[in-house]
Structure 1
Amino acid sequence: MLLELKRLTIPPGHKVLLQDVSWQEFEKILEDLGEHRATKIAYDQGLLEIMTPLSEHEVRKVLVSNLVEALLEELEIEFWCLGSTTFKNELMKQGIEPDNCFYIKNERAIRGKNRLDLAFDPPPDLALEIELTSRPHPHIYAALGVPELWRFESGNLQINRLQESHYIEVEYSLIFPNFPLKEIIPYYLNQCNTQGRNKTMKAFRQWVRQEKIKNQSLNY
């Protein structure tokens, strides 16, 4: 199977599905494909998906991630960004590589670790999926216990919160309560295209500072 995978060319925006892939085969494929690759994977009880993102997808992923990082920094919240790390759980036979992910509340629990095992370590607090192709797999994230899944599609941000064993769409993130991110993140993402990244990030940071002061005054 590995030889066939190495010969396989997956154009950007396309994917291949492999059925009846055992966990041992899945682990071997991950090892042989390596971490520095263009493709991304999802594994769901024997079904392995391998896809190659579009370049537009990668640009949006970086910009949305920059906005989240700026928000966390301005709020002085410690975080650890692990990018498209492969998260997997052998007992559940589930595995996924998000577009990006953040440890926030659980940052201290994984600080300094080079390898994570969801059988022992907590899942990321927030996962991002930029959907220019059909690849969200919310049931895998739910099975792995990721508290929040943000899905960005067609210019809209969808915030999903894990409730029991499935996600429900909500207006506000539990991580960033009182911040209208469903409107603000898409707005500043569009501003990057017209005003430039650096100018937009400065404006976004200023907005966060103003909202922070506003929220503090409301709590008094």
Structure 2
Amino acid sequence: MSRTLTDARGWMQQGTKLLLASVDGLAPASYDAPSGLPGWSRRHLVAHVAANADALCNLVHWAATGEKTPMYASLEERAAGIARGARLPAEELAAWTHESSERLETAMAALPFERWQAEVVTAQGRTVPASEIPWMRSRETCVHAVDLATGVGFADLPKEFLAALVVDIKAQRGLDTVPDGRLPDLAAYLAGRPYTLAEAPELGPWL
């Protein structure tokens, strides 16, 4: 399916609401519990999502001004930022998540229409138009809202988002065919998350 900038902006906003509601529902002690991502606590996951919003703000600034501002100075700096964030008290970590999400939303709302076609470079080295930034953030917020393991599942995500996610991951993984199944299960399977599809070959984690 084709997706538009308006679609991605809407999914990003819906995903942000789900994510922030999940974060706000965490008791301080539960931040230390495992997330749905192997080896990461909820602390690490929340820090990653907060840092991602700040990093995407850099790309919006790049698009707006033409000034080259990469998402992260380096992969090492990215990892160090997540580690620092994971050591914050729960209240500060939650506040950072809210504030970085708000900064990103404000920056996107102020970006002139013509600047959405400006080219920026992702952390993976891909050159993309700035219109990809909301899609990148919608994936982070929606999928990681599930990974927080607070009761949100793929079935709670927007159907149109799931359909676009399936197309995106199939392309990234180089898959021509996928198993039959309900859309939420198919999206979970392709993302390397728990699924209930029968006789589906295992895939590694994605995102």
Give the structure-1-normalised TM-score.
Answer: 0.25
Structure with greater proportional strand content: 1
Query: Could you say which structure has the larger radius of gyration?
Result: 1
Which has the higher relative contact order, 1 or 2, with Cα contacts under 8 A spaced 6 or more apart? 2
